[in-house]
Amino acid sequence: MASEFGKQLKISIFGESHGPAIGVVIDGLPAGEALNLSVLQQFLARRAPGQNRMTTARKEPDLPQILSGVLAGKTTGAPLCAVIQNTDMHASDYANLRDIPRPSHADYPAFLHYHGYQDIRGGGHFSGRLTAPLCIAGGICLQILGRRGIFVGSHLASVGPVSDWRFDAASVTPELLSSLCQKSFPVLSEEAGIKMQAEIDDARKALDSVGGTIECAVTGYPAGIGGPMFDGVENRLSAALFGIPAVRGVEFGAGFDAAAMRGSAHNDAYCCREGQIITQTNRHGGILGGISTGMPIVFRVAIKPTPSIAQEQDSVSLSRMEPVKLQIKGRHDPCIAVRALPCVEAAAAAVLLDLLLSESN
């Protein structure tokens, strides 16, 4: 099923951007795991719209209602179902999109695939709004992973041409990841963060948008998890990450920079430290042969510019088969990457917990 992922831990997402509600079903959670709803709400708040001028003006509290799978604050082992009510919908903003597809949106391919029956309001099931239930699932997985000494965090690695420092991939710490989660604009270099915000503001004032990259790290993940060929840790992570709307690329460790390096510069030498085998550097990003090495897992995700911009654009009328001009209405993020950080962390946490549970069964 297209809206489901996972093996031992199956996550299924449902709803549309301007429907009555969106939600998630999580099947395979271990029984007896404590769930802190306050911590979960704090995690969801990082993704929620309407936070500041850097995000869409749509106001949604994103308060999850858990319908099943939790009793007295702990998981029961039954499927967990959670829903979020949509409250701030402007469906009329999208009435003309039934006939005029938006550039770089899923409108036209969805029209072909679903023969015109798809929900076009706000992108329907293709909307970034569906990352809210993903964050419910990932936020729960983060709590379970944290009790096992595994921590996930991220920062904005770039916005447009402005770049932040990169993680020290060999020695990133849980404390650093935790501190980033507390920031309203999570960057390692405050100077870079100021320049990024100016870049986003410039795009907004120009009725335009700008893309960015997110660097995510995972500490404490045990070595030996995963498998070769087509079911490795990178494979499973990439599949889930590409489920986040606007993701355009994923790279691990040195990533594409490795293509310009020699083997002597790219190889990570092994050494022994405190009774453990580790690597002196971490250009492999914590995964070799699809299997975790025990080093921090580090990867980057490229996020495209928001395709919904207020500038007039060229499109076509599907009914008349002729070119038309399109002025997109609605409320949209000038930079999707700002709100995508917890989505990336959520997808990573869900996949990594699924892999752990699969290894233990």
Binding residues for NADP(+): 47, 53
Instruction: Report which DSSP code applies to 34.
Output: B
3-state class (DSSP) for residue 109: helix
d(CA 150, CA 134): 19
Number of Cβ atoms within 10 Å of the Cβ of 88: 13
**Structure tokens of 228?**
């070769």
3-state class (DSSP) for residue 70: strand
| C-beta separation of 303 from 248 below 8 A | yes
**Structure tokens of 32?**
């007896």
> Where does the chain have alpha helices with state H?
37-47, 107-114, 131-146, 174-181, 190-205, 233-241, 263-266, 337-360
Please report, in range form, the residues annotated as the binding site for FMN.
125-127, 289, 304-308, 331
E strands of 231-340, at which residues?
Answer: 247-252, 270-273, 276-279, 287-288, 291-292, 297-303, 313-317, 322-326
**Structure tokens of 218?**
């995972």
The whole-angstrom distance between residue 65's C-alpha and the CA centroid of its chain comes to 21
d(CA 70, CA 93): 38
| C-beta separation of 338 from 54 below 8 A | yes
**Structure tokens of 189?**
């270099």
Please report, in range form, the residues annotated as the binding site.
47, 53, 125-127, 289, 304-308, 331
Largest CA distance in the chain: 71
Query: Strand order in 4-5's β-sheet?
Result: 4-5, 10-15, 21-27, 80-85, 65-68
